[in-house]
Amino acid sequence: MTGWDASAEAWISVQGERGDFGRQHVLDAPMLARVAAHAPARVIDVGCGEGRLCRMLAARGIDTTGIDPAAALIDQARRLHPDGDYQVAAAETMAVADGGFDMAVCYLSLIDMPDLDAALARIIAAIRPGGHLLIANLTAFNTAAVHLGWVKPATGEPHFPIDHYLEERPRRTSWQGIDIINHHRPLKRYMQALLGRGLLLAHFDEPPATGGPADKRDRYNRVPNFHIMDWRKPA
């Protein structure tokens, strides 16, 4: 059995309270900096998982709503944040007020959404005019990897092979007891979908790892896993 509900227990264990390496040492600081730059009053976290980002934003005085299709993860979010607003729903069909949020965040969740266009339609509708869509996503060369990460040959340098980069497709991926389906899409697929809906790119980054064990940080920075995009919805 694959999927987020079946993998929820393993995911919660891997993330803990502080998050995994990529969240702690790569993405959290620049993502929170973008939130701070816009000072939103209301944020919707689409694909919120166990609610970690919602808790971080709530601690900063931001009114948050977390949406996730995995009931087991939403249950954990509610346990850890009883005062939070968490809803079991897929991005493609979520029932939230149009224009009700200053910012929508997709923190490593777009790759989990089977219907990107339907998901973006609902997400963008939820943002008020002049608001922002903040995205952290796996790089497309990462989701196009032939293997999960580096290959270490018997001789020679480790390498990171990719293939079929332009072919949009679901991919099963498993690690540390987590067994899920991600969706590989080339970068142009995301860019064309967001530009096609009239959004304006305000910020783009491929942040380096800045903490954690030195060997892991250095290995990560050879082939970064993530990019960040901040899009503005025209007023």
pLDDT in tens, 98-124: 999 999 999 999 999 999 999 999 999
pTM of the predicted model, to two decimals? 0.95
Provide the 10 A C-beta neighbour count for residue 178.
17
CATH (residue range 4-232): 3.40.50.150
Q: Which residue shows structure tokens 């497709």?
A: 169
- For 188, the 3-state DSSP assignment is helix
Span 9-29, average pLDDT = 93
1 — pLDDT class (breaks 50, 70, 90): very low
> What is residue 146's predicted lDDT score, i.e. its pLDDT?
84
Domain boundaries, the chain: 4-232
pLDDT in tens, 190-215: 999 999 999 999 999 999 999 999 99
Q: Percent of the chain scored above 90 by pLDDT? A: 83
For residue 56, what are the contacts with CB-CB under 8 A and spacing of at least 6?
A: 28, 32
Burial class (CB in 10 A: 0-12, 13-18, 19+), 207: buried
pLDDT in tens, 127-169: 999 999 999 999 998 899 887 777 888 888 888 888 999 999 9
**Cα–Cα distance, 113 to 124 (Å, whole number):** 15
**Cα–Cα distance, 144 to 161 (Å, whole number):** 9
